[in-house]
Amino acid sequence: MTAPIHEVVRDHYARIALNVVDDPCCGGNGDCCGPTNYSADELASLPEAAGLASLGCGNPIAVAELREGETVLDLGSGGGIDVLLSAQRVGPSGRAFGLDMTDEMLALARRNAEAAGATNVEFLKGHIEAIPLPAASVDVVISNCVINLAADKPAVFREIARVLRPGGRLGVSDIVADDTLTPAERVERGSYVGCIAGALSYTEYREGLRQVGLDDVSITPTHEETAGMASAIIRARKPLGQPLSTPG
């Protein structure tokens, strides 16, 4: 099942990347339209195409509490808006990585980084189930409405725990389902690429993060997306005493 999900998601977001300049709201497909999640000042500091390609359900930068000199990883970085905003906050002594599996989005993100004059960013090709970075190499993992699209969410959580340094933290925006909704009921409410069908429940999300050794897990809903499903801010932390890598 993993390969078909990856292919459907990749094809969908490749089309958005190619059409983003022609249609400012998610390529005209009706999916999460991200620029409204950002302040006017944040958008003004970036190339216009970075804002137009934002497809998230929130603003993880607003909750990540990034600090000068930190290393940040954005899972499913798309057109690069959260990577570029992160790069501003961590400054020249910090670094911001973006990970995406879609060539067209990576090309768009790299153009946006060049237009922004960002020198402390790097965009990597790969899947969020297999992050191409060493263990304990990242201070903060962010993501904006992407983990719900993953084909293997336990693998994503293991990889987050692996790449985080002890004391590192997770701050993401995602779609979360009420615990009362079955997977079939989630599918009835929207498509996989529309960020609905693949969403985890509150309990599934919380337990998934705890099972890989993360603690201080909190899930705070921000607004309803559809009946029984909400955009939420998810936070967690890797304990200081945890080993540098988490077994798969």
Give per-residue pLDDT as tens, 202-234: 999 999 999 999 999 999 999 998 899 999 999
Global pTM value: 0.84
Asked whether 58 and 231 are in contact (CB, 8 A), the reply is: yes
pLDDT attached to residue 244: 55
pLDDT attached to residue 18: 45
Residue 146, both tokens = 């992407």
pLDDT attached to residue 42: 82
The 10s digit of each residue's pLDDT in 10-39 is: 455 545 544 554 554 444 344 444 445 777
Query: How many other β-carbons are positioned within 10 Å of the β-carbon of residue 179?
Result: 11
The 10s digit of each residue's pLDDT in 46-73 is: 877 676 656 667 888 888 899 999 999 9
Q: What letters, b where the CB count within 10 A reaches 16 and e where it falls short, cover 64-100?
A: bebeeebbbbbbbbbbbbbbbbbbbbbeeebbbbbbb
The 10s digit of each residue's pLDDT in 69-126 is: 999 999 999 889 999 999 999 999 999 999 999 888 899 999 999 999 999 999 999 9
Question: What whole-number distance in Å separates Cα of residue 21 and Cα of residue 38?
Answer: 18
- CA distances (Å), 92 to each of 19, 69, 95, 96, in order? 32, 7, 7, 10
Residue 231, both tokens = 């955009």
Asked whether 190 and 197 are in contact (CB, 8 A), the reply is: yes
pLDDT attached to residue 7: 63
User: Which overall architecture, per CATH, does domain 2-237 show?
Assistant: 3-Layer(aba) Sandwich (3.40)
